[in-house]
Amino acid sequence: MANVDRDYQGLAFDYGRSPDQDAGVAVRHPVVVVGAGPVGLTAAIDLARRGVPVVVLDDDHKLSVGSRAICFAKRTLEIWDRLGCGDPMVEKGVSWNVGRVFFQDERVYSFDLLPDSGHRRPAFINLQQYYCEGYLHERTAALPAVDLRWRNRVTGVTPDAEGVTLEIDTPDGPYSLRADHVIACDGSRSAVRSLMGLESKGRVFRDRFLIADVRMKADFPAERWFWFDPPFHPNQSVLLHRQPDNVWRIDFQLGWDADPDLERQPERVRPRIRALLGEDADFEFEWISVYTFACLRMERFRHGRVIFAGDSAHGVSPFGARGANSGVQDADNLAWKLALVLAGKAPERLLDTYGTEREYAADENILNSTRATDFITPKSEESRLFRDAVLRLAKEHPFARRLVNSGRLSTPATLHGSALNTPDADAFGGAMVPGAPMTDAPGTMHGRPAWLLSCTGDVFTAILFAGDRGFDAATIAAIRALGTDGIPVKVLIVTPAGAAVPGADGIDCFADDDAVLARRLDASPGTCYLLRPDQHVCARWRTFDADRVRAAVARATCND
Amino acid sequence: MAILNIEPNIAQPDDFYEALIDMHRDLDAEQSRMANAHLILLLANHVGDEAVLREAMQRARALVPTSSDASRSPA
Ligand SMILES: Cc1cc2nc3c(=O)[nH]c(=O)nc-3n(C[C@H](O)[C@H](O)[C@H](O)COP(=O)(O)OP(=O)(O)OC[C@H]3O[C@@H](n4cnc5c(N)ncnc54)[C@H](O)[C@@H]3O)c2cc1C
C-alpha cells in the first residue's frame, strides 16, 4: 500500500494499449468513469468493491499538478475508510480541529470544529492533493475490477436509449467504447459537459487569490489561521495551513485589480511571505498560483446515462474546503445506487435521486461558500463596515464570533426531505434525522475496540438497540431473515456495556461501552436506525419491526 | 407583520435619545458609522428573534426616501 517515501508528484503512469483498441468494434462496458481525479477514483473504487467492472479514462498520466486541494474533511475520510484507503491519508496528513481568526494585529478568537471526543477521525486533515490521488490510485491497483487507462482523452460523447458511445484519443490514435453508464468526473472544464452542449452556471467572484505552497521549518501549530486585514498584508485576508513534509500553504487575497502574471513571480511573492514570517525567514517555493473563484453548478447532474459528479457538476470557492469533499460525497451517493440498478435490484429512477440529493447538497455548499466569500471580500462600503464591526466585536462578544465567516468548513449535507427517507413516526431528539450521515461512536466489537462507522456501510445496516435482556427468539429470527433479503439488511445489535444478547451468535454486536452512541442517537432499548449503504440515515423507529424495515429499504431504493 | 413592537417601550425616552446622540460625541462621520454598526449588531443579538429583526430591517429600509435629492444613506 502507501509508501511514504514515494515521490508522488513526480510519478508518471504508463499508457498501456487496451485490447479494446484492437477489437474492431466499440467494446461495451457497464460503467466508464471519465477523469481520474479524487472523485473519479473514489467512484471507481466504490463500484469495483461492489463487483461492478469500471473503466477509468484520464487524459493525463500524472497525479494532480501542484497541491490544489489540501483540506479533507472528516466525512470524506470516513468514506475513504469504508473504501479501505482512509488510513494512509490520515497517517500522512496533518490532523487539525482548531481554526484561529485574527483581525489587524489582534487574535480575535478560535473555534474547535470537533469539540467532543469519541470520533475516529479528526475534523480535517491537510494533505496535498497528489498524495490523496496517489493513495486512491494505489487502492485501485488492488482492485482488478478497475481498468485505469492513462492518456485516454474523451473527445466525443453520444448518448442514445441503450447506452453511450465514447470517442477516445490515445497516443496510438483514436478508438471507441460503449458504456451502459458514464460518470463524468472530468473536472471544472469538463469535456463531457461541453461535448453534450451543457453548462455549469453561477457567479464568478471579482477577486484574486495568490496561493503559495512553501517548504520551511516553522513552529506554527496544526491549526487553520486566518487573518483579516493584517498589518503585513493590509486591507486583504491571509490564510495559513500546515501540510505534510514541512510544506505550508499561504493564501493571500490580492483584490480584483491585481495582475495575475506579475503576482505569481517568485520575486513578488517572496516579500509578501517575509512580511508574514519575518525578514530572515528561510523557505523554498513548492508551488505558486493565482486564482479567481466561482460558485457554479449544472442545472441537473443526471442526463440519462451520463451522470456528472465533482467539479464537472459544481464548483465552489475554496473557503470552506467544499470542492473535493463534496465531490467525494457525490461518488459515495452514486456508487451504491448505480450498483443496485446494474444488478437489476432497483429501477433506473433511483439514479434520479442521485441528482436531486446531490443538487440539494451542492446548493448548500454554494450558499456557504458564497456567504464566506462575501464576508471575506465585502462588495460594498456598508458590507465592509459591518464585516469590520463584527470582527471588532468578536474578541470580547461571543455572539459576534458566530457571525465571523472565514469559511464555513465542509460538513456533509443532511438530505432533508429526500424521497428516499421514511419520515419519522416516532419522536426523537438529536441531529441524526432521516437524511443525516451517521455519526461515529466508540465501542467494542468481538472483544476489540471498534468504531461504529467501521461496522456499518456498504450495505443497508439496521442499528438496533438491545436492552439488558436482549431479544426474544422471534425477533432474533426476524433479524436473521433480513440478512437474506434480495437487498440484504445487515443488523448491528447495540448492547449496553457488558450485556450479552442470548441467541444472537453470528449477528454483529457492538457494545456501546460509554453509552455515547445511545446518547448521540437519542436511543432507548428497541430503537432502530436504518442506514443506507452510504451510511445516511433513511428511517428510524422506537421499536423494531422487520416489515417496516423492509418497507423503508424499498422506499430508499425506489422499489416501493 | 407587527411582531416588532412599535409602541413606546423606553421608560425615559428623552434620556435614551440624549445618550444615543452622546454616543457619537467627538466622533467623525466614519467613526460614527462604525459605532452605529456595533450598536446594531449588539442590539440585534439581544433581540435574537429573526422575524422581529427582519421586520425592523424592512421598516428601516422602507423609510429611506427614494427621490434622487435625498439619496444620502441612513446609517
Ligand atoms: C487552490 C485550490 C485549493 C483547493 N482547496 C481545496 C480543499 O482544501 N479542499 C477541497 O475539498 N477542495 C479544494 N479544492 C477543490 C478541489 O481541488 C477540486 O474540487 C477537486 O480536484 C475536484 O475533483 P474532480 O475529481 O471532480 O476533478 P479534477 O481533480 O479536476 O479531476 C478531473 C480529471 O479529469 C481528467 N480529464 C479532464 N478532461 C478529460 C478528458 N476529456 N478525457 C479524460 N480525462 C479528462 C483530468 O486530467 C483530471 O485528472 C481546491 C482547489 C483549488 C484550485
ipTM of model:
0.89
Q: What is the reported pLDDT for A549? A: 98
Is B15's pLDDT higher than 80?
yes
pLDDT grade for A3, boundaries at 50, 70 and 90:
low
May I ask the CATH architecture of the domain A442-556?
3-Layer(aba) Sandwich (3.40)
The string of pLDDT tens digits covering residues A107-137 is 999 999 998 999 999 999 999 999 999 999 9
Best of B27, B33, B34, B38 to substitute, by most chain A Cβ atoms within 10 angstroms, is B38
The minimum-distance atom of ligand 1 relative to the CA of A70 is 8
- Strand A314-315's sheet: what is its strand order? A200-204, A294-298, A314-315
Distances (CA, A) of A76 to A42, A72, A108, A123, A334: 10, 6, 29, 10, 15
Res A15 pLDDT > 90: yes
pLDDT of residue A473: 94
- Which sequence spans correspond to the domains of chain A? 8-83+118-200+295-367, 442-556
Looking at residue A65, what is its pLDDT? 82
The pLDDT of residue A33: 98
- pLDDT for position A499: 83
- Least confident segment among A31-40, A285-294, A537-546: A285-294
Distance (angstroms) between ligand 1 centre and the Cα of A327 equals 9
Distance CA(A242)–CA(A97), nearest Å, equals: 12
For A411, phi then psi, to 5°, come to: -125, 150
Q: How confident is the model at residue A452 (pLDDT cuts 50, 70, 90)?
A: very high
Summarised one tens digit per residue, pLDDT across range A174-204 is: 999 999 999 999 999 999 999 999 999 999 9
Residue A6 pLDDT grade (very low, low, confident, very high; cuts 50, 70, 90): confident
Q: What is the pLDDT of residue A336?
A: 98
Asked whether the beta carbons of residue B38 and residue A392 sit closer than 8 angstroms, the reply is: yes
Q: What is the mean pLDDT of residues A71-80?
A: 98
State the virtual CA torsion across A156, A160, A165, A166 in degrees, nearest 10: 30
Name the band, by pLDDT with cuts 50, 70 and 90, for residue B68: low
Out of B33, B38, B73, the one facing A393 most closely (by C-beta) is: B38
Chain A's closest residue to B43, CA to CA, is: A399
Q: What is the pLDDT of residues A238-278, one digit of tens each?
A: 999 999 999 999 999 999 999 999 999 999 999 999 999 98
Mean pLDDT of B35-48: 98
**How many C-beta atoms lie closer than 10 Å to residue A15's C-beta?**
14
- Give the dihedral sign, CA A129/A131/A134/A135: negative
- CB–CB contact A386 B37 (8 Å): yes
Asked if A394 has any chain B CB less than 8 Å from its own CB, the reply is: no
A508 touches chain B (CB under 8 A): no
Ligand 1 contact via A187 beta carbon (within 6 Å): yes
User: Does any CB of chain A come closer than 8 Å to the CB of residue B50?
Assistant: no
Query: Would you call B34 and A399 a contact, using CB atoms and an 8 Å cutoff?
Result: no
Question: Given an 8 Å threshold on Cβ–Cβ distance, is B73 in contact with A386?
Answer: no
pLDDT of amino acid A498: 78
Strand partners, A511: A444, A495
The CB of A390 under 6 Å from ligand 1? The reply is: no
CATH 3.50.50.60, applies to A8-83+118-200+295-367:
yes
Asked if residue A301 lies in contact with residue A313, where contact means CB atoms within 8 angstroms, the answer is: yes
What was the pLDDT predicted at A78? 98
pLDDT above 90 covers a percentage of chain A that reads 91
CA of A190 to the centre of ligand 1 (A): 10
**What is the maximal distance between C-alpha atoms in chain B?**
38
Q: Chain B closest CA to A427's CA: distance in Å? A: 26
Give the C-alpha separation, B63 to B56, whole Å. Answer: 11
Grade residue B1 by pLDDT with cuts at 50, 70 and 90. Answer: low
Cell numbers given for A550: 423492509
Say if the Cβ atoms of B41 and A400 lie within 8 Å: yes
Mean pLDDT along residues B48-66:
96
Task: Note the pLDDT of residue B14.
Answer: 98
Distance A156 CA to ligand 1 centre (A): 21
Where does residue B21 fall: left (phi above 0), alpha (psi -120 to 50 degrees), or beta otherwise? alpha
Cell of A171: 497516443
Ligand 1 centroid from CA A430, angstroms: 35
Taking the CA of residue B36 and the nearest CA in chain A, the distance in Å comes to 9
Mean pLDDT, range A498-527, rounded to an integer: 93
Which chain B positions have a beta carbon within 8 Å of A395's beta carbon?
none
Per the structure block, which three cell numbers stand in for A424? 419519522
